[in-house]
Amino acid sequence: MDFGDLKEALASQSYGQIADICDHLMLQVAAEGVAFQEEWPYAIHLLGHIYADDINSARFLWKSIPSSIKESQPEVVAAWKIGQHLWTRDYAAVHEAICGFDWSQEVRGLVASFAEQYTKRMFRLLSSAYSTISLQDAALFLGMSEDDAANYVLQQGWDFDPTSRMLTVKQQQAVTDQKLDPSKLQRLTEYVFQLEH
């Protein structure tokens, strides 16, 4: 089994491509009838879907993983624990799941990048959902200590009242970044073409 593209994506920190690479490889290997379950990088595959914010695909992948793999590879279970907390929208527990496992060198960069991305996503969520929020709650959502959370949000222009320990949210300018990935468009085109013919 050739994991060259996957290793290259990990090395170049192209984490957004990992789920697609793994899905493609899995389909390719399964089509060839090769037994791949024992050596498949399930933790990376799960984390790739989680990084891409595709929890449904991560959930279906988890269900397809043989129980022997789940029992023998604690990193796969730890990766799914992140997915579970995302699925149930237990935002604080996501950070606990990230920090609560000693990740292998192979996935450490991916997990760190996801943690950073997730913190930014939670900050955007707080910015859009609240006008004021307690420092304790903000720290819980951001997965930081209260001091770190205060520093983080103050750098983003929020105000802090030390007597009430409340943060006043500064509304962020909404910036949408739409990326059109030509490979996804090509795959969609080929799929629709196959359906029509």
- 137-175 per-position pLDDT tens digit: 999 999 889 999 999 999 998 999 989 999 998 876 655
Contact between 102 and 117 under an 8 Å Cβ cutoff? The reply is: no
Q: How confident is the model over 48-83, as pLDDT tens digits?
A: 999 999 999 999 999 999 899 988 999 999 999 999
Match 């090509």 to its residue by tokens: 186
Q: Give the residue with greater pLDDT, 30 vs 73.
A: 73
Please give the Cα distance from 129 to 163 (Å, whole number).
Answer: 23
pTM: 0.78
What confidence score (pLDDT) does residue 3 get? 83
What confidence score (pLDDT) does residue 139 get? 92
Which residue, among 109, 117, 162, has the nearest Cα to 142 in the 3D structure?
117
> Could you tell me where the DSSP H helices lie in the chain?
4-11, 18-31, 42-51, 55-64, 67-72, 74-87, 91-99, 105-129, 135-142, 146-155, 182-196
Label each residue of 16-46 as H, E or C. Answer: HHHHHHHHHHHHHHHHCCCCCHHHCCHHHHH
With 80 as the cut, is the pLDDT of residue 197 above it? no
Match 């468009």 to its residue by tokens: 185
Question: For 2-20, what is the mean pLDDT?
Answer: 88
Match 């006043």 to its residue by tokens: 168
Q: How confident is the model over 89-142, as pLDDT tens digits?
A: 898 899 999 999 999 999 999 999 999 999 999 999 899 888 999 999 999 999
Element (H, E) at 13: none
Please give the Cα distance from 8 to 13 (Å, whole number).
Answer: 8
The sheet carrying 132-134 orders its strands as 132-134, 166-168, 159-161
Provide the β-strand partners of residue 168: 132, 159
Question: Is residue 31 very low, low, confident or very high in pLDDT (cuts 50, 70, 90)?
Answer: confident
What confidence score (pLDDT) does residue 177 get? 61
